[in-house]
A and B are shown apart, each in its own frame.
Chain A
């Protein structure tokens, strides 16, 4: 069976408004950015999100107000942005409905979803703010169709009376998107390097889009079945998208585009021109009050400018690659003896 789609058609068919959705990858590694950009262009939103260790991927969708409920454990382009800035601003302004789990719990929840478990008891989060405070109240949960009715419940281990454990719900995912190194038209995937939670969400979700660096034949991909990680029958769409994790890393293929991640770090400080003006005026007033010198940045690039430049002004992924430029992409290529690039 041939599951090969264009990026446009895969996203148009399998990403719907209101989906409960999760992406693969880890902060700045193997994030399915090409698919994120296509979602941004097509306009889907109102997502209930199980974010995993997220970075710019969900920060962009939060900044563009495509998220209805955000279930978080960590959101940062580690090493470039300490706390993702649109995520942070949305919470500080009270504009984002969100919930916190620890990363361990959230990853175990996604794993439990892949195992088909009804709920999950953990020895984690006990005694912490993570069980004490709920980002989404029980009341509010009743109004959110795709959010579980409770965040967590303290229960006793029936097999060890007296032991307190925390029970958490198991995600019911509509959609998962992962970016892999190799996939074949029947949906079989090879993931090189750490699989992260990608296999878990590919098994758990009803609809699965795989974007891949290389599209290889069904025969080729099973030459060595020790390398294959996702059963093709779990997958709905296979999309050939070289550099589809850009600007994040892809093991054995390319490194972070540190220039782009730094550009996003700066730009995402300001939502748009009006926000930049307001923030700069505030900083200026603060400096003046303290009697400190202040040089206002002239026409700083904003989050909106960044998305116009790298997402909305290009028609598709091919146009994006042309815009990034061949030489720049070549410099990102991993050096096989090191496993990363020293040339960018």
Chain B
């Protein structure tokens, strides 16, 4: 058997899986977070409990679902709640001071404090008539309100910006105390950003983003070049690649149809 050559997406999926902790309830969407959570569930952290914002709880899909309301989730879960129950559950986890929830969200733009835009890019226009319009919040705003989050993003200068056009999902706002000021739970917020270059985290004092891990082959120069604001890489360690068995599980068991992990042809 020839050796699997790792792709950027597999590195991200593995990084996701490694950051899910024992017994955590994991809010996943589709795409990479789902692949990462599936990997966690199978190998890295089998005690985790995946849920989706449509209200399907403890999901164990056999085939990769395409959307959070997909029958592939619905037919293989513990409870089929309407969406409002999911929202209530999310809020009550916070009210009960529970630390069990961790959530994945994505977006088009992010600022140094982990505020995320998934609504629109203004260009020469504005919110009402933007250059590029996206879907809108979906569940992301609520998730970012009540849960600790891991943000998934392609690491590009045009996405990592000092100031983003529109805040769909609140991060640490403008720094320490920023969330409390606008009426958001201060003990919740973004924990890290998993990109195709590595893992960014937020400084406990300043709440500003710094580079905590780089994937093999990535240098501080590459991270800075692809970030639209100054980013501290002085503490960055190398995040080791997974072994061949992990890659085999992703390719042959979790996403054999390459729905989300695309494998380049030899």
Contacts and interface: CB of A to CB of B under 8 A. Distances in A.
Interface of A: 26-29, 53, 72-76, 78-80, 82-84, 87-88, 91-94, 100-105, 107-108, 111, 123-130, 132-133, 135, 154, 163-166, 193-197, 199-200, 249, 251, 255-256, 334, 338-340, 342
Interface residues of B, number: 58
Interface string B223-262: 0000000000000000000000000000000000000000
B71 A196 contact: no
Contacts of A166: 183
Nearest to A334: B71
Contact of B83 (A79, A196, A340): A196
A103 B82 contact: no
Contacts of A200: 82, 84
Interface string B76-100: 1000111110010011000000000
Given A79-B30, A83-B135, A127-B179, A338 B75 contact: yes
A72 B65 CA distance: 24
- 3 interchain residue pairs of minimum CB distance: A339-B75, A79-B66, A127-B182
Given A128-B170, A256-B66, A135 B127 contact: yes
Contact of B71 (A79, A163, A249): A249
A199 B179 CA distance: 35
A28 B30 CA distance: 13
A28 B67 contact: yes
Contacts of B120: 91
Contacts of A105: 141-142
B129 interface: yes
Interface string B99-139: 00000000000000000010110000001111111111111
B166 A129 contact: yes
B72 A102 contact: no
Contact of A127 (B68, B70, B129, B167): B167
B184 interface: yes
Nearest to A74: B138
B70 A125 contact: no
Interface string B52-76: 0111100000110111111110111
A123 B91 contact: yes
A276 B75 CA distance: 40
28 contacts: A26-B68, A53-B54, A53-B83, A75-B135, A76-B135, A83-B135, A88-B133, A92-B130, A92-B133, A93-B129, A101-B137, A103-B53, A105-B141, A123-B145, A124-B142, A127-B173, A128-B168, A128-B170, A129-B127, A129-B166, A164-B183, A193-B74, A194-B80, A194-B82, A199-B82, A256-B66, A334-B71, A339-B74
Contacts of A132: 167
Contact of A78 (B68, B71, B76, B82): B68
Given A74-B138, A196-B55, 9 more contacts: A29-B74, A88-B134, A123-B145, A129-B168, A130-B141, A133-B128, A196-B82, A196-B83, A251-B75
Contacts of B119: 100, 129
